[in-house]
Chains A and B, each alone.
Chain A
Amino acid sequence: MALQRLFAPLVLRAERRLPALTRMKPAEALPITLHRRRIYIVPSAYGIAFAILLLVMLLGSLNYGNNAALLLTCLLAAVSANSMLVTFRTLDRLSLDAIHAGTARAGERLELRLVFQGNGREHPALQLECSGHEAGFAVGATLPTEVVVPIATHRRGWISMPRLRVLSRYPFGWFRAWSWLAPGARMLVYPRMEAAGPPPPGADPLDGRRRPQGDEWAGLRDYRHGDPRRHIAWKASAHAESLRVKQFDQPDSTAPWRLDWFDSGLAAHEARIARLARWVHEAHAGGHVWSLHLPGASHGPARGTAHFHACMRALAELP
């Protein structure tokens, strides 16, 4: 007990000073800025080979009493020693400011966009390693840089951010500096979709596809990127400051789809989720109004992207 009390501050100190060495390292909050306590640097294999070459050159120039060659060897050795500091500087002050995760269904690759910031220093020739994937990138002194890393997903639900390693061999490849990052971000993976199956009970699968746009006049709104050109109200736009777009609504003629956990016609837990995921996807693609009924929670009826993501999220979070 007394021993533990003696060691506790030591361990605490070690964890504070050498965060990457402790295996049970807690996740860190963003932004994570690299500094000397978390940057490790060792000679690379090429660096060791080069050191041996330098030794041979040193012996050769000493043996032949050739001082010019000795000066050249010393110069190269000094450059290599200083390149260690440059390698360190390449990582120092780099910070990971934000992580944007895309959406992916289990089995697909989830694209993570990592935003790095230079904090007033150029960081040329960096490499990012993340769960078997490698990417090379460079970060400027002021502008943030985005690096896209796809990570493989296997099952639905929350996954935590894998450990990242940022490394650099800049400038000459003689030293390798790296730092481990454990950002405390979590990403949601949507459930896998059933490949094919029956339509939801009481739904006409062709219903949505016949009139995907809808034709009931609903009003005018501002132009948004991606609007079809034939929907632009040219006359109205001529009077207004900006482009106006005619908006149409889907006629609410069909009844909302009711997607029910107990009506899925399957018994297996994951198979049910996969079927519901397909139905939700079809309903969203078809522009329908739908409601999702799960044990313990109901969503909708509604439509639109927000509703779609809420439903997928509910499905992903099912036990």
Chain B
Amino acid sequence: MKFGRAARSTVTPRAFTLLCITVGWTLLMHAGHMPAWLSMPLALVLLARWVQGRGRQRPGIALWIKLPLVALLVVAIISAYGTLFGRSPGATLAAGLLVLKVLESDTRRDGRSAIAFAFFTLMSALLFDQGLIGSLLVGLGLLPALATLRALQPGAPVGSPRRELLLPAVMLLISAPLALTGFLFVPRLSTPLWGGASGPEQAPTGLADHMTPGNFTQLLVDDSPALRVAFDGPPPPNKERYFRAYVMQRYDGRSWAVVPARGLPAAIQASNSIAYRIDLEPNASRVLPALDVPLEAPPGAHLSRDHELLVAKPVDSRRSYRMHSALHYRLEPRLGQRERRRDLQLPRGYNPRTHALADAWRTRYGSDHAAIVNAALKLFHDGGFVYTLSPPPLGRNSIDEFLFSTKQGFCEHYSSSFTVLMRAAGVPARVVTGYQGGYWNDFASYLLVRNSDAHAWSEVWLAGQGWVRVDPTAAVRPDRVSLGAAAAAGGDLPWYQAGWARVVRDQWDLVNRLWNRGVVGFDTLRQQALLTPFGVRHADWGTLAMILALGCTLLLALAGALTLWRRPPRDPLAAAQRRLQRRLARLGIVRGASEGPRDYLQRAARALPDCAGQLQALSARYLWLRYGESAPARQYVRDYAQRVREFRPRAVAR
């Protein structure tokens, strides 16, 4: 058991292998956002180093190999991202340097610093994905990292790989309460200390404030959740689940765009309203989707003239808000001249056939706008239109080409051409984008709306009714509205929507929702809500810090007490003797402070002549067990205790 100083400072083969596993895992966690031509060579470098260095003799790597590799890494990152700074290039650089650090892991000191760096790099992987699976995988990386630190301790016993991971796993498990206390009560920052909260480079796609028919396709095949809605009452039927995001008025012949309108929200007469809460996934747009027509704005947002919920900053983190919306209403019953002009605007010199058709309707139906709307819907329904997510491309007169030749498209094409038709026929109309439908999770009673539920529809203004929603896509494929986009796109149900798989998916989505609400979305407000039941009305920084300190101290004190506590050595013989003394004391024979066991029991035998023989036997037995043997056999002690239990002294009858 002798170790020289030199042998002590080298990394053992087991520790080296664990280090390589840690670094490999960390690299894997970062592979998602790194270009493959960068991550693959790094993985190869790591593998080569492991093969070269896993033996007892680990040749060092010369400086002339290490330095050019670092330079190469920097050049590769700059050529991939154009800079070394920022989230993606920074994290890639950290992962790359970590791999190159393994080339230099000859002493324990190197190993320890590599692991510390690996902790940091593991955490930075969470900046890209803090979903449930991603976080769990990153957390799993702590196991080999801690096991490496353990194996780096001089004299640490080398066990089977499973045993090596046991201690880190147990440590993580028993640290969970303390970690949770810290997580719940660490005061959050109200404003970031540096930089933006998260760069737009990685922001997921969402709805844009302009729409060109054809640009939804990316969104419509994206099955990731966009928002989750929990209704206070029963959920509205599927055909009323229209979630409004943007209202677009300006059309330039190709695209629709939002006209930023000043002024108060347009007047609305609503008969009743529905209350619900939305958990919104980050989507990088400046709008909060809301069911149909929102009646008021949640904190931090404002209600635009056309009843959109606009926020100042793009939604780059999960957001939760409570809302009231009207499903049956009269929106803007009186349309001003300016608004009417705006909602009839069309660019000149486009789509002559569409204009001709609209003019024909106008002469035929006159001012019966509802009839014009019906004529258009009839055209979509009977005109041989096809709903498809991959329509042929359209040229300059896109509406003409769509309406009269290609006749293939999806919601954007239908709502766009319908709105143009209405405007050409003199009916004020506009395009609304948002989400439609969603998937009702029976298991946990909430509506899951995916990005693929993105939808575009139209609103026309009818005298006496205000703005009325018209969904021309429904005229083509009614099931688009009743079933959802994926079903309407045709083909069989994918395997994951059938039967049992559906149940699993429901529950999985529920778990994700809990994670998102409980962990990812745990912000200052939730912190406050957590403390309100305990009478803390307004928990400021100081209060939270105090609770945090108190909780951590309590838990650590508990753990410390458990560590320090020693079970007092059990002495069954003494316990039996105490029992005997208690029984005798009940009869008035109390042992004196300076009285030895023999004297005491003799005195008892004199006082109780009835059981003198028994007492003498017990006394002899005790003296032999206590003083005659250095370690009396356990069964003798048990036997003695049994005799004491059976001994029932009776007072002398006088």
Contact = CB atoms under 8 A, between A and B. Distances in A.
Interface of A: 36, 46, 49-50, 53, 56-79, 81-83, 85-86, 88-89, 92, 124-127, 134-138, 145-148, 169-173
B198 interface: yes
Contacts of B180: 74
Contact of B193 (A59, A78, A173): A59
Contacts of B139: 72, 75
A127 B552 CA distance: 31
B152 to A, nearest CB: 7
B270 to A, nearest CB: 36
A72 to B, nearest CB: 5
A66 B130 contact: yes
Contacts of B523: 65
Interface in B1-30: 1-3, 5, 8
Contact of A69 (B123, B142, B149, B560): B123
B123 A125 contact: no
B142 A173 contact: no
Contacts of A81: 175, 178, 552, 556
Contacts of A171: 146, 149-150, 153, 167, 171
Given A78-B175, A172-B153, 18 more contacts: A65-B188, A66-B130, A67-B183, A69-B124, A71-B179, A74-B179, A74-B180, A76-B142, A78-B176, A78-B182, A79-B146, A79-B172, A79-B179, A124-B155, A135-B1, A171-B150, A172-B150, A173-B153
Nearest to B150: A171
Interface string B142-181: 1000100110111111000000000100011011111110
B1 A136 contact: yes
Contacts of A74: 178-180, 182-183, 186
A173 B149 contact: yes
The B interface is mostly helix, strand or loop, or mixed, namely: helix
A67 B130 contact: yes
A173 B317 contact: no
Nearest to A52: B116
Contact of B183 (A36, A63, A70): A70
A34 to B, nearest CB: 12
7 contacts: A66-B127, A70-B183, A77-B178, A81-B556, A82-B171, A82-B178, A172-B153
Contacts, number: 170
A70 B184 CA distance: 10
A305 B112 CA distance: 52
B138 interface: yes
A46 B149 CA distance: 11
A56 B146 contact: no
A65 B120 contact: no
B559 A62 contact: no
B197 A65 contact: yes
Nearest to B152: A173
Contacts of A67: 130, 183, 519-522
Nearest to B519: A67
B559 A85 contact: yes
B193 A134 contact: no
Contacts of B153: 124-125, 169-173
A173 B123 contact: no
Contacts of A135: 1-3
Contacts of A134: 3, 5, 8
B623 to A, nearest CB: 29
Contact of B156 (A46, A58, A70, A170): A170
B189 interface: yes
B244 to A, nearest CB: 28
B36 interface: no
Interface string B110-147: 00100010011011101100100011001100100010
Contacts of A146: 1
Contact of B123 (A57, A83, A147): A57
B179 A61 contact: no
Contacts of B198: 64-65
Given A68-B135, A74-B179, A136-B154, A63 B146 contact: no
The 8 closest A-B pairs by CB, nearest first: A136-B155, A68-B130, A78-B175, A78-B178, A74-B182, A78-B179, A136-B154, A75-B179
Contacts of B192: 63-65
A127 B155 contact: yes
Contacts of A145: 1
A79 B175 contact: yes
B195 interface: yes
B194 interface: yes
Contact of A126 (B2, B155, B197): B155
Contacts of A63: 189, 192-195
B564 interface: yes
Contact of A71 (B183, B188, B559, B564): B183
A257 to B, nearest CB: 40
A136 B153 CA distance: 10
B126 A72 contact: yes
B519 A68 contact: yes
Contacts of B120: 53, 56-57
A73 B520 contact: no
Contacts of B123: 57, 60-61, 69, 72-73
B200 to A, nearest CB: 14
Nearest to B180: A74
B112 A125 contact: no
B186 A75 contact: no
Contact of A49 (B116, B146, B149, B186): B116
B2 A148 contact: yes
Contacts of B183: 67, 70-71, 74
A75 B119 CA distance: 11
Contacts of B155: 124-127, 136-138
B563 interface: yes
A46 B150 CA distance: 13
Nearest to A35: B566
Given A36-B564, A72-B138, A136-B3, A79 B520 contact: no
A137 B154 CA distance: 8
A83 B560 CA distance: 11
A126 B193 CA distance: 44
B187 to A, nearest CB: 8
Nearest to A122: B157
A122 to B, nearest CB: 8
Nearest to A70: B183
A138 B157 contact: yes
B371 to A, nearest CB: 54
A83 B138 CA distance: 21
A72 B122 contact: yes
A317 B531 CA distance: 77
A138 B154 CA distance: 10
Contacts of A138: 1, 155-157
Residue among B116, B154, B317, B523 with max Cβ neighbours from chain A (10 Å): B154
Contacts of A148: 1-2
Contacts of A78: 175-179, 182
Contacts of B179: 71, 74-75, 77-79
B138 A82 contact: no
B639 to A, nearest CB: 26
Nearest to A46: B112
B127 A53 contact: no
A173 B127 CA distance: 28
A79 B559 CA distance: 12
Residue among A46, A79, A85, A146 with max Cβ neighbours from chain B (10 Å): A79
B122 to A, nearest CB: 7
Nearest to B516: A67
Contact of B150 (A69, A89, A170): A170
A74 B119 CA distance: 12
